[in-house]
Amino acid sequence: MPSKNMLPKGDRRRSVKAEYRAQRTLAQEREAAQRAAGEWSEAEPRRQGILTADIVTAAASPAPSPWAGRANLVTSGPESGKMPPEHDTQSTPRYSSPYAVEAAAPEIAVLEDLEPEDGVRSLTAPPEAQGLRLDAYLAKAVPGISRARVVLLIEGGQVTVDGEPAKGKQKLKGGESIEIEGDPQPAPLNAVPEDIPLAVVYEDDDLAAIDKPAGMMVHAGSGAPEHNTGTLVNALLYRFGHRAGSSGAAGLSELGGPLRPGIVHRLDKQTSGLILIAKNDRTHQRLAAMFSARDLRKTYIALVHGVLEPAEGTVSLAIARDLVRRTRMTTRRGGAGDARSAVSHYRVLERIAGPYGSFTLVEVRIETGRTHQIRVHMQALGHAVVGDTLYGAPRLIQPVRGGAATEPLAGSASEPLALERNFLHATALALAHPTTGRPLELHAPLPGELEDLLGRLRKPVA
């Protein structure tokens, strides 16, 4: 129910300071007149509506507090109230403070002298371990072992607590007998063969050249083995690694380790084209030396947005990791310690002006092989590679007229175009054979999806 003193609904945002001050002035004048006439009574102010007299009087002669003189009580200041002060060590606060600092957790001693007997390490959980998870305690107490390794031990059934198989999440009470058998056994990270078709451009006893499709990773990372599938390495192991009378990766070099047999250099996942494979360690070493000395000629075909000028040029900009978006590289940190020199030579093959705007088809020869080199250098020139959304290319290529986006056009250009990969293809490799020394010139034509996109971009407006 609204108060009788509440302002009307339409006036509730209006300030009442002026009315209050006027009433206070009248009250003060009334009080002064009554005091002058000898009619003022100390019992009258509130009945007469004088709002300030009691405030002034109280300030002049404050009434004594009924709690004054009581031991362990405070009645003013930030701790005002009738409760004992916090500094009284004989009293316990009624409510815990939300800002109280928790007591530091007890320090866990590292068991430096923990030696295995018959391959088993035995220890007893100290009282300080009470409330800790088993895996957290072991990671702190057992020297030279990480929490991830502790988890491997527990999942492998190599840890018992009071004779029972342990669980990583179980809480300790202190005093438990813990036994650790052996060392952690990480799952093997070897890639497995898979029957995946390969486009072999060239092959002999020492090396092979593969036309890798876009969308295929060259090799997997060091994650779980079940995720190491569908890569070029899986296909290579099936094609070259298992032959009559051989086992493992006998048909591929092993210098790259179990995850990268035969791999000398790489291509980005969404880049197609030629990649060299070494079949033995000697060839691998020689090819690696040729890449390092820049004795190979690697040529790419790229389609970029806009009109790239001049018709020929060289981009020599160091490349470093982007500090903000860690999946990207950048040329803006040329003076950074992790920046590496990169040189790209380009030559315009064709300028395209059609229903989807302007594009430039370029041939790029790289002297170095930095991560995302061509893509980063083209972006630095202001002409992103078509389909390369990581470096600024649009996801959809919209139809245009007169250089500005318009309503959909009639005919084949009525719908936006999408390319689910980068328009970047490693089209040629020229080198001297690492064993015979004879020149090798290898070529891989543009994939069908890139040729199709070029045809649609070139098609004149209907």
Report the catalytic residues: 268
Cα dihedral across residues 186, 187, 193, 199: positive or negative: negative
3-state secondary structure of 156: coil
3-state secondary structure of 58: helix
| Residue 281, C-beta contacts closer than 8 angstroms, at least 6 positions apart | 253, 254, 255
Instruction: Report CA 66 to chain centroid distance, whole Å.
Output: 64
| Residue 151, C-beta contacts closer than 8 angstroms, at least 6 positions apart | 135, 168
**C-alpha span between 424 and 386 (Å, rounded):** 8
DSSP string, 289-357: HHHHHT-SEEEEEEEEES--SSSEEEEE--BEE-SSSTT-EESTTTTSTT-B--EEEEEEEEEEEETTE
What Å distances lie between residue 112 and 109, 132, 154, CA to CA?
Answer: 9, 20, 21
- Cα dihedral 401, 407, 412, 417, rounded to 10, equals 90
Question: Which of 256, 411, 368 is CA-nearest to residue 232?
Answer: 256
User: Is the CB of residue 449 less than 8 Å from the CB of residue 419?
Assistant: yes
**C-alpha span between 237 and 194 (Å, rounded):** 7
User: Is the CB of residue 129 less than 8 Å from the CB of residue 174?
Assistant: yes
| Residue 189, C-beta contacts closer than 8 angstroms, at least 6 positions apart | 222, 225, 228, 258, 259
Question: Which of 292, 235, 240 is CA-nearest to residue 264?
Answer: 292
| Assigned token pair, 217 | 């990773």
**C-alpha span between 364 and 13 (Å, rounded):** 70
Question: Which of 219, 315, 227 is CA-nearest to residue 267?
Answer: 219
| The residue to which tokens 């300028």 are assigned | 351
Query: Alpha helices, DSSP H only, in 174-322?
Result: 232-236, 281-293
